Amino acid sequence: MALLQISEPGQSQAPHQRRLAVGIDLGTTNSLVASVISGSASVLKDEHEQWTIPSVVHYSTNHEPLVGKSAQEKAASDPFNTIRSAKRLMGKGANDVQQSWLADHYQFDLETGSIPAFKTVVGNKSAIEVSADILSKLRATAEQTLGGDLVGAVITVPAYFDDAQRQATKDAAALSGIHVLRLLNEPTAAAVAYGLDSGTDGVVAIYDLGGGTFDISLLKMQRGVFEVLATAGNTALGGDDFDNAIADWMRTRAGLEQMPDQSSHRQLLRLARSVKEQLSSQDKTSYALNLSDEINISGEISVADVNAIIEPLLKNTLAPCRQVLRDAGIAKTDVKAVVMVGGSTRVPLVRTMVSEFFDQPVLTDIDPDQVVAIGAAVQANVLAGNKTDDDLLLLDVIPLSLGLETMGGLVEKIIPRNTTIPIARAQEFTTYKDGQTAMALHVVQGERELVSDCRSLANFELRDIPARVAGACRIQVLFQVDADGLLSVSALEKESGVLASIDVKPSYGLSDGEIEQMLKASMEHASEDVQKRALAEQKVEGRRVVEAISSALEADGDTHLSVDERTDIDALIETLLEKLEQDNGDAIKQAIEKLEAGSSLFVERRMNASVKQLMAGQEIEELERTLVSSDASRET
């Protein structure tokens, strides 16, 4: 008798073949892991029946690292060895540490040229290693709950994470033994979860305010396709900043200039966080922290007090909201829904200000803490091969333009910002000097016209280019950004087939909020940048003309010019060189025109000489055949 394989609606047709995959929300303050079980995505609980795992790791000698709530409990008694908010330093450098509040609470090894590391009793720990320990905890929770080994995970990152931060996240996953199916922007993950629940089509704003980062994204959602129209944010703004501001307010009210030690500061931060959470559901509350007979921090705080404290911080989230609307070319009225994501959106003032900005009620029907992990789990289930009836197509974008440095320190943008990824785009370049056999390629990121105003990502060289006259070589440069937002660049000389390439792992050192500042600066300096670019292009053209005429003079100037004619051209070259040292584009242009006019007779004589040399020794009939053949080719 033949047996029919039967499955419940929404389940795989072959449950025993289901591949275990999870979605991970690796957060600054808290982390979660979720999976699709019986056709429904849900967050998995740990051994303490908690679905939220604090992103905290405690290190001690002769013991395995503690992760989560048990580590958080060690913060007051052993603050330097209890690491939190490590995500803020993912892919960052020494300068970022010094500019961050973390520098006041931890001891760091900031050796030049290396990844900054927290100093602990078990040695230096980078943000990557701390994150790897958190991911290991999440992996163990998932495998214990699901009853098997994971085939992979979709890990979410802030939309404004740059290449270095994304690569650091992948490195942390590799250390924890997790295969990354894909890195997924947090707002996009939220859109996946929200779109499945509500079936909404149209433009949706995802306002994501977590513990350490803020993102705002506009997504066009239609028939299961989620396309990011524009994204902006602040990589150094979140609930942690609210806690620090409230703690400072309490300390100041108590008449203290600073806390006596790290342990007391940690206790004050925990109190501030508790007060913030209480005032999300009540009008006022009292607080007390007795550190000693001399130090007592206590009093009463109201919702109005907290609102006054955090309102300046919240206003910093509205500028990126305006930015994405401009980038997408839409009005507020075009936004069909505003989805709140992240634990910090539980604060009533956040919801009020965002609602007033978009002129509509915000949507909070999905748990703002869980929605990112749930969306990541849905995508992980698809990528693992557990197909559902609702296959999703996710179209993320790159946050900043990618390009190359060209002569004159100019930026040639290859892939503009807000281009949907994955993407591959090529552009041809050529050599600048005669006989050039190598080319240095400088990959940059940013919106400004000059390299000095953009961020350097990587440098590499293309060597063994055929030595030809300037402009004769054809070099194709290919930029490829994969689905995780990671960039690779290759350069190919078409005639010889010489190839060079690089996977861009940018140098560490992107300061907090630099991306937002770069976008703002590009708008503020737009007119100025256009003028600077025009000046730089004139200088490049001037140097090219000088190079070409100087080379010709050196080759046969004495043959075709009298002494006086040579002197006149030399004087015109000298004048142009002087103008090139100045910042007057019109003067440079006039000097170029005078040099070209003054050397036109010399150029004509050289061309005539070349023609005579070509014709020498040929019969009239042979020349006629050559000319006829040439005319026929042109007609063809």
pLDDT digits (tens, 9 = 90+) for 125-147: 989 999 999 999 999 999 999 99
Tokens matching residue 537: 């292009």
Q: Which residues contact 373 (CB under 8 A, 6 or more apart)?
A: 23, 24, 25, 32, 33, 34, 43, 156, 189
Q: What is the pLDDT of residue 224?
A: 59
Mean pLDDT over 517-538 rounds to 67
Q: What is the pLDDT of residue 12?
A: 42
Same domain, 355 and 386: yes
Q: What is the pLDDT of residue 458?
A: 81
Q: What is the pLDDT of residue 394?
A: 60
Is residue 29 assigned to a domain? yes
Active site residue 87: yes
Quote the CA–CA distance of 500 and 506 in Å, as a whole number: 17
Mean pLDDT over 465-489 rounds to 82
Residues 382-414 as b or e (16 or more Cβ within 10 Å = b): bbbebeeeeebebbbbbbbbbbbbbebbbbebb
Is residue 323 assigned to a domain? yes
Q: What percent of the chain has pLDDT over 70?
A: 84
Among candidate residues 469, 496, 524, the one where a domain is terminated: 524
Tokens matching residue 562: 């009298």
Task: Region of 255 please: left (phi>0), alpha (psi -120 to 50) or beta.
Answer: left
612 CB burial (10 A radius; 0-12, 13-18, 19+): exposed
- Let me know: does 116 contact 93? Beta carbons within 8 Å: yes
**Closest by CA position to 152, among listed 128, 170, 127:** 170
Torsion of CA 625, 630, 634, 636, to 10 degrees: 50
Q: What is the pLDDT of residue 512?
A: 37
Q: What is the pLDDT of residue 205?
A: 92
Same domain, 509 and 603: no
**pLDDT tens per residue, range 564-592:** 788 888 888 888 888 878 878 788 888 88
**pLDDT tens per residue, range 595-630:** 888 878 877 777 777 777 666 655 555 555 555 554
Is residue 8 assigned to a domain? no
Q: What is the pLDDT of residue 438?
A: 85
CATH number at residue 207: 3.30.420.40
Active site residue 220: no
- Let me know: does 414 contact 402? Beta carbons within 8 Å: yes
Among candidate residues 524, 542, 563, the one where a domain is terminated: 524
Tokens matching residue 121: 């009793």
Higher-confidence residue of 254 and 621: namely 254
Tokens matching residue 267: 């206790």
User: Which residue carries 């602990």 as its tokens?
Assistant: 120
Mean pLDDT over 212-240 rounds to 79
Is residue 270 assigned to a domain? no
Is residue 348 assigned to a domain? yes
Element (H, E) at 295: none
Active site residue 564: no
Q: What is the pLDDT of residue 582?
A: 80
Q: What is the pLDDT of residue 11?
A: 44
- Let me know: does 121 contact 61? Beta carbons within 8 Å: yes
Same domain, 57 and 188: yes
- Let me know: does 41 contact 34? Beta carbons within 8 Å: yes
- Let me know: does 306 contact 314? Beta carbons within 8 Å: no
Q: What is the pLDDT of residue 386?
A: 78
Q: What is the pLDDT of residue 421?
A: 77
Q: What is the pLDDT of residue 248?
A: 92
Same domain, 445 and 550: no
Same domain, 175 and 316: yes
Same domain, 391 and 405: no
Same domain, 332 and 377: yes
Q: Which residues contact 535 (CB under 8 A, 6 or more apart)?
A: 583, 585, 588
Q: What is the pLDDT of residue 430?
A: 81
Least confident piece of the model among 9-13, 152-156, 297-301, 545-549: 9-13
Same domain, 326 and 440: no
- How would residue 510 be classed by pLDDT, with cut points 50, 70 and 90? very low
Residues 488-498 as b or e (16 or more Cβ within 10 Å = b): bbbbbbeeeeb
Is residue 83 assigned to a domain? yes
Task: Region of 497 please: left (phi>0), alpha (psi -120 to 50) or beta.
Answer: left
- Domain boundaries, position 455: 398-524
110 CB burial (10 A radius; 0-12, 13-18, 19+): middle
**Closest by CA position to 170, among listed 26, 385, 20, 379:** 26
Same domain, 413 and 315: no
Residues 115-147 as b or e (16 or more Cβ within 10 Å = b): bbbbebeeebbbbbbbbbbbbbbbbebbeebbe
Q: What is the pLDDT of residue 392?
A: 55
Active site residue 624: no
The whole-angstrom distance between residue 598's C-alpha and the CA centroid of its chain comes to 50
- Let me know: does 136 contact 24? Beta carbons within 8 Å: no
- How would residue 488 be classed by pLDDT, with cut points 50, 70 and 90? confident
Higher-confidence residue of 7 and 281: namely 281
Among candidate residues 491, 524, 557, the one where a domain is terminated: 524
Q: What is the pLDDT of residue 407?
A: 77
Return the number of other C-beta atoms located less than 10 Å from residue 453's C-beta: 18
Tokens matching residue 455: 């961020």
The whole-angstrom distance between residue 185's C-alpha and the CA centroid of its chain comes to 11
Q: Considering the entire predicted model, what is its pTM? A: 0.57
- How would residue 325 be classed by pLDDT, with cut points 50, 70 and 90? very high
Q: Residue 574 is which amino acid?
A: E
**461 pLDDT higher than 80:** yes
Quote the CA–CA distance of 511 and 97 in Å, as a whole number: 9
Number of domains in the chain: 3
Q: What is the pLDDT of residue 362?
A: 92
Is residue 256 assigned to a domain? no
Mean pLDDT over 71-88 rounds to 88
- How would residue 9 be classed by pLDDT, with cut points 50, 70 and 90? very low
Q: How far apart are the first and last CA of the chain?
A: 74
Same domain, 208 and 75: yes
- How would residue 322 be classed by pLDDT, with cut points 50, 70 and 90? very high
Per the DSSP assignment, residues forming a β-bridge with 426 are: 478
Q: Could you say which of 186, 453, 484, 516 is catalytic?
A: 186
Same domain, 559 and 569: yes
Q: Could you say which of 74, 87, 276, 539 is catalytic?
A: 87
* DSSP-derived secondary structure letter, 258: S
Distances (CA, A) of 142 to 154, 285, 406: 13, 38, 49
Is residue 468 assigned to a domain? yes
- How would residue 57 be classed by pLDDT, with cut points 50, 70 and 90? very high
- pLDDT, the chain, mean: 81
Q: State which of 71-80, 168-177, 215-224, 604-613 shows the largest mean pLDDT.
A: 168-177
Q: What is the pLDDT of residue 516?
A: 55
Q: What is the pLDDT of residue 388?
A: 55
Distances (CA, A) of 624 to 619, 629, 631: 9, 8, 11
**pLDDT tens per residue, range 100-120:** 778 778 888 877 556 888 899
CATH number at residue 609: 1.20.1270.10
* DSSP-derived secondary structure letter, 238: S
Side by side, the strands of the sheet bearing 123-126 are 108-109, 117-120, 123-126
Q: What percent of the chain has pLDDT over 90?
A: 23
- E strands, 258-323, where? 284-290, 296-302
- E strands, 280-361, where? 284-290, 296-302, 335-341
Same domain, 179 and 56: yes
Q: Could you say which of 96, 133, 162, 208 is catalytic?
A: 208
Q: What is the pLDDT of residue 111?
A: 73
Q: What is the pLDDT of residue 626?
A: 55
- Let me know: does 368 contact 357? Beta carbons within 8 Å: no
Residue 318 has φ and ψ, to the nearest 5°, of -80, -30
Q: What is the pLDDT of residue 464?
A: 85
Per the DSSP assignment, residues forming a β-bridge with 493 are: 475
